[in-house]
């Protein structure tokens, strides 16, 4: 068992339609991750079906209640990744305002528009990152309002959200503002742990491949397609380890896997294009992650947070089938975990991406 880590079990707050070896929250040192917080009751029924306003308020209250189990104040929430169905609330402005009213006007809200969820009537799911340290924020945008960058410093980790509302300025404009934020935060590429990219169309290809060429996008093929229903073109969610320089970087093209370690934190991303079955790709990704962990003297018990995005339908069976494959690699109490469908991965033929973040016990 990881001595720096504590787990909050699901207990009876809410439950899914499948048994799973995951935790409601995982606290690791000064930082904490949640599983995807859902509008589901203790019997597995959807709260306020098809009502996004009621569901987002329920989820906000649920997050506050579960924060109490770790003695973390709502003002110590650093980042919320909000997965939602945009047709239910155009532009999601009300949803974002709701989250900021609950957790502070500076909290980083990363909106990820999804086509549907796996349970009928469900419209929202929220990932939470919090810290026992009080977060510090820095924001900026270019003079035309095309690029907006927000940084939040939680002490052990720094999160950055980049929003691009027009592709005319291209990667150079985005890079300039991202580098400015990194400089003000005392960061360099040596502190870069993980990055997640979301795009509204194939037109973002040039921007992503420019970012990849300069080392700011680890894998354009893992970018997920989103239809936000507004002017948003690209959203990036980036994680830095301010106190830890590069310890290890490993790319295994044959495995479709990337391993990166900064200080005590590591990140692994895995995706493959073959075979063409979602379940087979899931099994291949998880096997690659297991082999990468073993090569570093680690195991799945070192994972704090797992995130899985897949191109699939809205039936619970599709989630449960690939979730069962992932479940087989973990033992309780297990990490905080989130898995849900996206439209597709426009720059690859992959059907699923698997990302894990964890820590190495330090002497």
pLDDT in the model for residue 86: 83
Residues 158, 58: Cα–Cα separation, whole Å: 28
Bond before 94 cis per omega within 30 degrees: no
Q: What is the pLDDT of residues 172-203, one digit of tens each?
A: 889 999 999 999 889 999 999 999 999 998 88
Average pLDDT over residues 106-126: 92
- Residue 18, pLDDT above cutoff 90: no
29-87 pLDDT, tens digit per residue, is 899 999 999 999 888 899 999 998 899 899 999 898 888 766 677 888 999 999 999 87
Q: 265-280 as b/e, with b when 16 or more CB fall inside 10 Å? A: bbbbbbbbeeeeebeb
β-strand partners of 276: none
Q: What is the mean pLDDT of residues 333-360?
A: 93
More confident site: 71 or 331 = 331
Residue 37 is predicted with a pLDDT of 92
Q: State residue 17's pLDDT score.
A: 59
pLDDT at 235 over 90: yes
Q: How many domains does the chain have?
A: 1
The residue assigned the tokens 């079906």 is 49
Burial class (CB in 10 A: 0-12, 13-18, 19+), 157: buried
Instruction: Tell me the pLDDT tens digit for each residue of 162-171.
Output: 998 877 668 9
Mean per-residue pLDDT of the chain: 87
> Which three-class secondary structure state does DSSP give residue 167?
coil
CATH code (residue 197): 3.30.1330.40
Predicted local confidence at residue 245, as pLDDT: 75
Q: Is the pLDDT of residue 262 over 80?
A: yes
Q: Are 228 and 89 in contact (CB under 8 A)?
A: no
**Percentage of residues in the chain with pLDDT exceeding 70?**
90
Q: Give how far the C-alpha of residue 134 lies from the chain's centroid of Cα atoms, to the nearest Å.
A: 21
The 3-state DSSP composition of the chain as helix, strand, coil percent (nearest 5) reads: 30, 35, 40
Strand spans (E) along the chain = 5-8, 25-28, 31-34, 77-84, 108-113, 124-131, 136-141, 147-153, 158-164, 192-199, 224-225, 234-240, 246-252, 257-262, 265-271, 303-311, 336-342, 352-359
Higher pLDDT pick, 166 / 262: 262
State which residues form the domain around 352. Answer: 5-359
Least confident of 3-7, 8-12, 111-115, 302-306: 8-12
Q: What is the pLDDT of residue 241?
A: 96
Q: What is the mean pLDDT of residues 259-278?
A: 92
Cα dist. 22→63, 65, 75, 95, 127 in Å? 17, 18, 25, 27, 14
Query: With 60 as the cut, is the pLDDT of residue 89 above it?
Result: no
Q: Is the pLDDT of residue 357 over 60?
A: yes
The SS3 call for residue 254 is helix
Q: What is the pLDDT of residues 282-327, one digit of tens each?
A: 999 999 999 999 999 999 999 999 999 999 876 767 767 777 888 8
């Amino acid at each position: 068992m990881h001595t720096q880590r504590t787990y909050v079990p699901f207990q009876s707050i809410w439950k899914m339609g499948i048994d799973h070896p995951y935790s409601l929250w995982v606290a690791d040192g000064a930082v904490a991750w949640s599983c995807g917080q859902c509008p589901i009751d203790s019997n597995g029924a959807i709260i306020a079906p098809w009502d996004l306003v009621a569901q987002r308020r329920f989820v906000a209250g649920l997050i506050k209640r579960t924060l109490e189990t770790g003695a973390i104040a709502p003002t110590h929430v650093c980042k919320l990744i909000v997965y939602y169905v945009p047709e239910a609330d155009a532009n999601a402005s009300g949803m974002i305002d709701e989250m900021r009213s609950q957790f502070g006007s500076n909290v980083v809200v990363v909106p990820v528009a999804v086509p549907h969820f796996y349970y009928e009537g469900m419209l929202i799911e929220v990932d939470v990152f919090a810290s026992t340290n009080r977060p510090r924020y820095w924001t900026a945008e270019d003079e035309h309002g095309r690029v907006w960058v927000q940084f939040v410093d939680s002490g052990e980790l720094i999160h950055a959200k980049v929003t691009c509302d027009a592709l005319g300025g291209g990667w150079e404009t985005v890079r300039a503002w991202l580098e400015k934020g990194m400089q003000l935060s005392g960061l360099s590429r040596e502190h870069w742990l993980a990055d997640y990219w979301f795009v509204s169309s194939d037109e973002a290809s040039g921007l992503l491949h420019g970012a990849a060429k300069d080392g700011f996008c680890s894998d354009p093929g893992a970018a997920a397609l989103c239809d936000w229903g507004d002017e948003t073109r690209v959203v990036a969610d980036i994680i830095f380890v301010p106190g830890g320089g590069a310890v290890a970087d490993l790319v295994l093209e044959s495995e479709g896997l990337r391993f990166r370690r900064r200080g005590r934190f590591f990140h692994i991303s895995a995706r493959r294009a073959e075979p063409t079955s979602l379940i087979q790709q899931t099994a291949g990704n998880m096997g690659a992650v297991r082999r990468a962990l073993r090569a570093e003297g680690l195991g799945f018990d070192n994972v704090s947070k797992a995130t899985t995005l897949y191109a699939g339908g809205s039936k619970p069976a599709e989630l449960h089938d690939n979730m069962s494959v992932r479940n087989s690699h973990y033992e309780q109490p297990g990490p905080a975990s989130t898995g849900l469908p996206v439209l597709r991965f426009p720059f690859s033929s992959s059907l699923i991406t698997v990302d894990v973040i964890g820590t190495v016990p330090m002497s």
